[in-house]
Amino acid sequence: MKTVFACFLALFLSSLSAAADISGKWAGDVPGRGGDMTPMTFTFKADGDKLTGSVTGPQGDVPLQDGKVSGDQIAFSTTLDFGGDTVKIM
């Protein structure tokens, strides 16, 4: 589960990195167990080199931590709980 989610997140973020300003809402589906898709919404607010926002899914709103913008690259971490499976995204 963690590997699948990490791959999805890497692809998602690489598609965002080409954008000049990523501020706003971004939606996607995360593959889950048994092929289920979990809808997720990322809300980003870029202010200079600082990135804030949240991830919204079945677990509710979870704030981004350690968000940074550097050129066309973004980075953040957050911790999500998928029915008892806690995943820290970095």
What are the pLDDT digits (tens) for 17-26? Answer: 444 689 999 8
pLDDT tens, position by position, 25-58? 989 887 777 777 778 899 999 999 999 999 887 7
List the structure tokens of 69: 């913008």
28 with 12: CB under 8 angstroms? yes
pLDDT on residue 37: 78
Structural domains in the chain (count): 1
**Residue 4, pLDDT above cutoff 70:** no
Q: Identify which has the larger pLDDT, 30 or 70.
A: 70
Sign of CA dihedral 62, 79, 38, 19: positive
Segments forming the whole domain that contains residue 49: 2-89
